């Protein structure tokens, strides 16, 4: 039996700065090398809000946002062999083809096989699978998880353990993997190291978990919203500080607290001024700062080159450096084995029709993660 076009409820972003509206969209069957999945749950990440705000130079409208999902394979296109109907999968905005220069380098998770079309809101063949009354609706980050059904290339799906509740492990589709991976993979924080984490949303708190798992000796958690401190401490932060409580730059405060600076720092906000603080709170000679936050069009980072001449290192990470198909299933298994919890992060759940509440809760600082249940 060949799959047909199906109707699905989806949250559509029609233009920048406007709330999403729930629409009935047509979702085409998966083409060769593609898979259609039924989304069970999707987290809402700050990057969705970033793109909706209009700050994303790659933002395209109308689009179906969402990139932190969990779903079940509904149908597969011609030639698909690695997943089959009924498999539980996590969509990957960083796919893994295993054969491009990037995949073969052994140095990066940034597979580039489909990056160009993905950045244009299109499937690899240059068309979209979503439409309303025949008019195209664009994909987002190759995922579009704010829809009952979505279509992805086979190389952009991680097949995961069916025992894992998709309502929780959807968070491994972006936020939690990004924060933990940044610490354990990108920075490779070692036992006893000192760490500073700027921004205690889903990403920063996951970095706290990563630093705790890496047995960092000191985990300094920084946020201007002190309501985030309780969970940060529960997850292993040793110090929680609010930059607003000091009349000197926060990097100076941290340098004093740590006898010269931290071994590693992580920026989990997307604020270029904080990125500078995060670099400059690193220890002379070896401190490494990892940029995770995404900053808007036209924003640039700066520091005195002397900061790097004297041994500090500036780097960045996407999806925590994790290769989705080969490495994400293991994160799911480690979650199932109880190495870390996800429920602490899920402060709110809602149906798709209330998805705009998730954005409001994020902007007001009341949520860590909202998860939409389909």
CA separation, residue 262 to residues 205, 218, 239, 286, 306 (Å): 18, 9, 13, 9, 17
Catalytic site residues? 45-47, 67-68, 97, 100, 103, 111, 115, 174, 369
Largest Cα span, the chain: 68
203 binds Zn ion (CB under 5 A): no
The nearest distance, CB 57 to ligand AHE, in angstroms, is 4
For ligand NAD, the binding residue among 31, 108, 131, 271 (CB under 6 A) is 271
Q: Are 255 and 281 in contact (CB under 8 A)?
A: yes
321 binds ligand NAD (CB under 6 A): no
Site string for ligand AHE, 314-343 (x = CB under 6 A): ----xx------------------------
- Alpha-carbon dihedral 80, 99, 64, 60, rounded to 10 degrees: -140
66: left (phi over 0), alpha (psi -120 to 50) or beta: left
Q: By 3-state DSSP, what share of the chain in percent is helix, strand and coil, each rounded to 5?
A: 30, 25, 45
> What DSSP letter does each residue of 35-60 carry, written as one string?
EEEEEEEEE--HHHHHHHHT--TT--
Strand 88-91 versus strand 157-159 pairing type: antiparallel
145 binds ligand AHE (CB under 6 A): no
Stretch that binds ligand AHE, among 3-11, 53-61, 269-277, 323-331 (CB under 6 A): 53-61
The nearest distance, CB 299 to ligand NAD, in angstroms, is 11
For ligand NAD, the binding residue among 174, 176, 183, 211 (CB under 6 A) is 174
The nearest distance, CB 222 to ligand AHE, in angstroms, is 20
Helix (H, G, I), strand (E, B) or coil at 256: helix
User: What values do phi and psi take at 35, rounded to 5?
Assistant: -140, 135
Whichever of 3 and 257 has its CB closer to ligand NAD, that residue is 257
Q: Are 66 and 48 in contact (CB under 8 A)?
A: yes
Total chain residues near ligand AHE (CB under 6 A): 13
200 binds ligand NAD (CB under 6 A): yes
Question: Which residue's entry shows tokens 């930059």?
Answer: 243
Beta bridge partners of 48: none
124 binds ligand NAD (CB under 6 A): no
The nearest distance, CB 94 to Zn ion, in angstroms, is 9
For ligand AHE, the binding residue among 15, 58, 190, 273 (CB under 6 A) is 58
Q: How far apart are CA 203 and CA 179, in angstroms?
A: 5
94 binds ligand AHE (CB under 6 A): yes
What tokens does 2 get?
């060949």
121 binds ligand NAD (CB under 6 A): no
**Which strand ranges, in their side-by-side order, compose the sheet holding 288-291?**
239-241, 218-222, 194-198, 264-267, 288-291, 313-316
50 binds ligand NAD (CB under 6 A): yes
Q: How far apart are CA 115 and CA 275, in angstroms?
A: 26
Helix (H, G, I), strand (E, B) or coil at 169: helix
57 binds ligand AHE (CB under 6 A): yes
293 binds ligand NAD (CB under 6 A): yes
Whichever of 175 and 329 has its CB closer to Zn ion, that residue is 175
The nearest distance, CB 64 to ligand NAD, in angstroms, is 18
The nearest distance, CB 298 to ligand AHE, in angstroms, is 10
Smallest CA-to-CA distance from 48 within 166, 141, 136, 154 is with 141
DSSP assigned state of 96: -
Residue 198 near which of ligand AHE, Zn ion, ligand NAD, none (CB within 5-8 Å, type-dependent): ligand NAD
Whichever of 132 and 318 has its CB closer to ligand AHE, that residue is 318
| Residues contributing to the site for Zn ion (CB under 5 A) | 45, 47, 97, 100, 103, 111, 113, 174
| Residues contributing to the site for ligand AHE (CB under 6 A) | 45, 47, 56-58, 93-94, 110, 115, 174, 294, 318-319
| Residues contributing to the site for ligand NAD (CB under 6 A) | 45-47, 50, 174-175, 178, 198-204, 222-225, 228, 243, 268-271, 274, 292-294, 317-319, 362, 365
């Amino acid at each position: 039996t060949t799959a047909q076009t199906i109707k699905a409820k989806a949250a559509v972003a029609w233009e920048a700065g406007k709330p999403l509206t729930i629409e009935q969209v047509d979702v085409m069957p998966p083409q060769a090398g593609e898979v259609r999945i039924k989304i069970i749950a999707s987290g809402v990440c700050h990057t969705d809000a970033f793109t909706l705000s209009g700050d994303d130079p790659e933002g395209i409208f109308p689009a179906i946002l969402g990139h932190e999902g969990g779903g079940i394979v509904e149908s597969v296109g011609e030639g698909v062999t690695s997943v089959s109907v009924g498999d539980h999968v996590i969509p990957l905005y960083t796919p893994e083809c295993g054969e491009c220069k990037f995949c073969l380098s052994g140095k990066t998770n940034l597979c580039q096989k489909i990056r160009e079309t993905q950045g244009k809101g299109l499937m690899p063949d240059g068309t979209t699978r979503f439409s309303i009354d025949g008019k195209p609706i664009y994909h987002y980050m190759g995922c579009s998880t704010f829809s009952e059904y979505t279509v992805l290339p086979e190389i952009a799906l991680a097949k995961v353990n069916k025992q894992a509740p998709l309502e929780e492990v959807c968070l491994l589709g972006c936020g939690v993997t990004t924060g933990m991976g940044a610490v354990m993979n990108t920075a490779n924080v070692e036992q006893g190291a000192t760490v500073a984490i700027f921004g205690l949303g889903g990403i920063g708190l996951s970095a706290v978990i990563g630093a705790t798992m890496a047995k960092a000796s000191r985990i300094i958690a920084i946020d201007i919203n002190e309501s985030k401190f309780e969970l940060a401490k529960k997850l292993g932060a040793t110090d929680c500080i609010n930059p607003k409580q000091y009349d000197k730059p926060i990097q100076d405060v941290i340098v004093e607290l740590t006898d010269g600076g931290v071994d590693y720092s992580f920026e989990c906000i997307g604020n270029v001024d904080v990125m500078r603080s995060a670099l400059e709170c690193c220890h002379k000679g070896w401190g490494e700062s990892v940029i995770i936050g995404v900053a808007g069009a036209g924003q640039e980072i700066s520091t005195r080159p002397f900061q790097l001449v004297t041994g500090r290192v500036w780097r960045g990470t996407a999806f925590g450096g994790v290769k989705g198909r080969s490495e994400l299933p293991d994160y799911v298994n480690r979650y199932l084995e109880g190495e870390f919890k996800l429920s602490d992060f899920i402060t709110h759940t809602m149906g798709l029709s209330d998805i705009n509440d998730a954005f409001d809760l994020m902007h007001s600082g009341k949520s860590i993660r909202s998860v939409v249940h389909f």
